[in-house]
A and B are shown apart, each in its own frame.
Chain A
Amino acid sequence: MTLGGGAMTNTIPEISQYSDVVFIIGSNTGECHPLIAKHVIQAQSRGAKLIVADPRMTDMANKADIWLRLPVGHNITLLNGLMHVIIKEKLYKAEFIQEHADGFDDLTRAVEDYTPAYVEDLTGISQQDLIAAARLYAGAGAAVILYCMGVTQFTYGTGTVASVSNLAVITGNLGRPGTGVCPLRGQNNVQGACDMGGLPNVFPGYLSVTDEKHRARFEKAWNTQLPPKPGLRIPEVADAVHQGKVKALYVFGENPVMSDPDNNHFIHALQELELLVVQDIFLTETARLAHVVLPAAGWAEKEGSFSNTERRVQRVRKAIEPPGNAKTDWWIFCALAQKMGAKGFEYQNTQEIWDELRQVVPEKWGGMTYARLDQVRGLNWPCPNEEHAGTPILYVGGKFTTPTGKANLKAVLFHPTGVAEDKIKEFKNPIVGKIAELPDREYAFTLTTGRRGYHYHTGTMTRKSLPLNQVGPEQMVEVNPQDAAVLEIEDGDYVKLTTRRGNIAVKVWVTDRVPEKTVFTTFHFWEANVNELTVKDTDPLSVIPEYKVAAVKIEKISLAEAKALYLEKAQKYRVELEQEVVAEMQKGWRV
């Protein structure tokens, strides 16, 4: 939308080799991307400077030269403040903007109000720190921005992403080694899944389904008719079920019962379905509610390729046979399609599928043969032909892939309680943000959510690992020492967290990692899943839910009360069922 693509513009090793300044915003890089954090640490020991914007004292925040401890939800305030300083002090790259960007005037007007004093007022970040950070970032020879879900999981996440790209564009930090805008992907292959069209609105290669030209290309390749209408996005599914528009749901590689916001709403929707199929490697909380469970093969049990966060496609090879009746996902889909009478699903192996992709979307993957991928440690797309060495850095020379070839600078406005109508009218298509649910008298704390280093998402895999369970045996909620003193709770006590949507019992971790009036917990544990509490309001553009802010009430409870709540959750998530099935399987019983 702003630059022309949705992926890391640069590669990971450039951080340690070339970046002079690393700006991390909304990413707990140390815990969630330790191998990328390693490059940041190496850059620091080379003399690079680190700026971190995070409400939480993440380990990277602790190591930062400047740590901007903004309140949860204020990314846009901060980014607009930084750009305000950069524009006022004429630290931007006028030539680069003139040649390669549109909308600078709009942007200048949009950030006009975000003076250091105003930003300090709203966020508590000192004017000194804000100005120092702006000068440091804009003054760098090569500065890179790393961001993650702390930027996107808001109802105005798209706006924040646009702001991040605005900042990089006006300082000319794109298209050169060690620069760039880098969204860090949370999974080994989530980039690959999106690349392959695993989104409701695009074909492989991010080719929009609404575009006739693109549709024609795939209709020809697949010899079939393709619908011109984008599908539903995950947060829209529950409502569609309630409205009777969706009658069957096929879930694979996902555990939405645990990971969807306000999951009670979602669970009710599942009960209305005529058919729920879940394909997974374990009997997840979602699979336990399914009519049909299809056992899938794990990553070490299949062939194919993964595309990592830096757009690098790498081969994965089968190390062991899948257990029992488990089959790879592609095999299951093809078998199902054939059963339904569809044509064109007669693949024998993953190479045939990959070669088809290379033929249909050559501009991105044409040159990536399996033979080449076998020889090198992956290639970065675009790689249009076999002579092409891949593209580690996008937009070299300021050539963006937008229709105009220029980067779009977008006006982005934000205020926690909303921006005045008059203000909005001053701009052409601005992105406007406000927080969906602010704390009030009853729900006095801000709840924010995320992951911990040792568990992965809904714990489907990591909670089956003894070492990881020993490191992180149970859910914890981080509470600031000041708040703990006021609430008279101690480290290790149990509290009940209640929002307008649900409640959970959690053990308290009293720590400076969270600022006052803010608590943090995760969605790893069914015993206390934070997604019973989160709000389901979404970004109107990307439909990402606002996982990062909700208003919450905290009450100290006794152990007995905590236990009673766990027993309730055990029933809700049908925990015994997994234990029963596992016990049966150990006796040799086949599903």
Chain B
Amino acid sequence: MANRFVIADPNKCIGCYTCMATCVMQHQQVGLQAYPRLQVTHTLAGTMPIQCRHCEDASCVAVCPVKAITVKNQSVQVNETVCIGCKMCALACPFGAITPYGTLPPSLREVGTFEQYAYVPEPRWPAPLYGQSGQTTELHPLLAWRIGQKAVAVKCDLCQFDEAGPACVRSCPTKALRLVEGEDIERLSKLKRSGAAIETASNVE
């Protein structure tokens, strides 16, 4: 079965960024990197968020030197605790769907001019500890790092930890986002084949 993925309809997307904020919250609550895993992209041809397509022959999987990215459960998943932040996958991904995110190494910190003043209060909502029971809002211990946060490859994981499915799909006010399942692709192809057959047949004298 083909991999699943979330995709947006540019005719419906109004560029409101709700999906991005939801994605951040969703991952923060389970102790993963609190970073949007989809990026609203504005072009003259249309606006839509871009995220991972969960490729069948994924170049990100192929280049990862520590096998942090694997195909499982009809999706491509990065294990953020294994990732060493080498950025190869980000370079290889044809969709720009991977962002290295985390604390900048000290040599680069000067660059983060804003970060120095960014004041973000502790989150108030309770959240389950990643992979365990209990209540915490902390980052997963392996992602927490000496300087603060380990820099890793961050990309759409289809919210695989959430039974309710992709959070962005639920939050979009115009229902521009949808989850495409492997079965959908097969059904669609079947439909298109019938269409092609009908067209060809009716054009044969």
Contacts and interface: CB of A to CB of B under 8 A. Distances in A.
Interface of A: 29-31, 34-35, 37-38, 41, 57-60, 62-63, 452-454, 463-474, 511-513, 527, 559, 562-563, 566, 570, 575, 578-579, 582
Contact of B110 (A465, A469, A559, A575): A559
A13 to B, nearest CB: 14
B21 interface: yes
Interface of B: 11-18, 20-22, 24-25, 28, 34-36, 42-44, 46-47, 110-111, 113-114, 117-121, 123, 173-174
Q: Chain B binding site: helix, strand, loop or mixed by DSSP?
A: loop
Contacts of A579: 119
A469 B47 contact: no
19 contacts: A31-B14, A34-B14, A34-B173, A37-B16, A59-B14, A62-B42, A62-B44, A453-B15, A454-B21, A464-B121, A466-B34, A467-B21, A469-B120, A470-B24, A471-B21, A473-B118, A563-B113, A566-B114, A570-B117
B14 A38 contact: yes
B114 A31 contact: no
Contact of B113 (A463, A464, A472, A562): A562
A513 B42 CA distance: 8
A492 to B, nearest CB: 10
- Interface secondary structure of A, over-half rule: helix
Contact of B114 (A453, A470, A474): A474
B15 A30 contact: yes
A62 B114 contact: no
Given A468-B21, A469-B118, A35 B173 contact: yes
A569 to B, nearest CB: 10
Which of B21, B25, B111, B118 has the largest count of A CB atoms less than 10 A from its CB? B21
Nearest to B101: A470
B20 A454 contact: yes
Nearest to A28: B15
Contacts of B34: 466-467, 470
Given A60-B14, A469-B120, A38 B174 contact: yes
B24 A464 contact: no
Contacts of A59: 13-15, 42, 47
B33 to A, nearest CB: 9
Nearest to A473: B114
A474 B117 CA distance: 11
A91 to B, nearest CB: 30
B114 A471 contact: no
A490 to B, nearest CB: 15
A527 B174 contact: no
A549 B100 CA distance: 38
Given A470-B36, A527-B117, A563-B110, 8 more contacts: A34-B174, A37-B173, A463-B119, A466-B28, A467-B24, A470-B35, A512-B43, A559-B111
